[in-house]
A and B are shown apart, each in its own frame.
Chain A
Amino acid sequence: MIAPEVFQLSEFDGHATALEGVVPEALRAHAEEAVRSCPERAISSVTPVGGKP
């Protein structure tokens, strides 16, 4: 898993879920790599209102 700090993996069925909340700046690079690596293109990132671009 590329960004284990940002996603939770279900032990039961193996599906990943994004943890709630804003991704801390320190984990930004990992999260963006996860977006770029997902073959299903199922992950996207959005900038929260008032957040840094």
Chain B
Amino acid sequence: VSQDLKVLLVEDEEAMRRFLRPVLTGQGYRVIEATSGEEALRLAASHDPDLVMLDLGLPDMDGIEVTRRLREWTHVPIIIISARGHEPDKVLALDLGADDYLTKPFGVQELLARVRVARRHAEGKTRSEIDLVAGGGRLRIDAARRRVLAGEREVRLTPIEYKLLLTLARNVGKVLTHQQLLREVWGPGRAGQTQYLHVYMGHLRSKLEADPARPRLLVTEPGVGYRLNEE
């Protein structure tokens, strides 16, 4: 990571900042710190960060509100930090345009993985061929020829299954909410009908996973959405 990348860390807890500061600095980021929503919005405008890490519980303003106000003018990747049991808030922030989330407490590996994925998507590389490795297996999607290979085996998918897989693969590593997937794959007509998603994810798992009951690739985030994992 080049030295001039800036991360805006929005967190009111000193202890959390103390933990995150060296981790992010160690990755080569310059860390700008904000302890309130207003300060975060001000610093985001003046420093134009490359990444925002945003705690949902801020003293002056809801983190969801900060996300909304940031998304009015910037596409900077936003990673939400929140507590367990606040799934509806996470979904709201994600649907408003946040890129991903971390649930406290989280480990450094998880943090860095999320940062990496968010950065990669921000760079906006869309590939016609997707090749990824997860759980000791390999998944290849050739979008030009509409071919899917699990290991060396060619997998035959229905049009919807393929579209669902492709949507997840284009956002590999990133969580997509139920509504985002429904809108992307089925269009606005199926908004709210999560049963479609669960049924088709089940189909995909049974076709792509070595053990569908213990998925390595198509990971469920209960109450939030799905994620295509990559190692």
B is bound to A: no
Query: Which residues from chain A sit less than 8 Å from chain B, CB to CB?
Result: none
Query: Which residues from chain B sit less than 8 Å from chain A, CB to CB?
Result: none
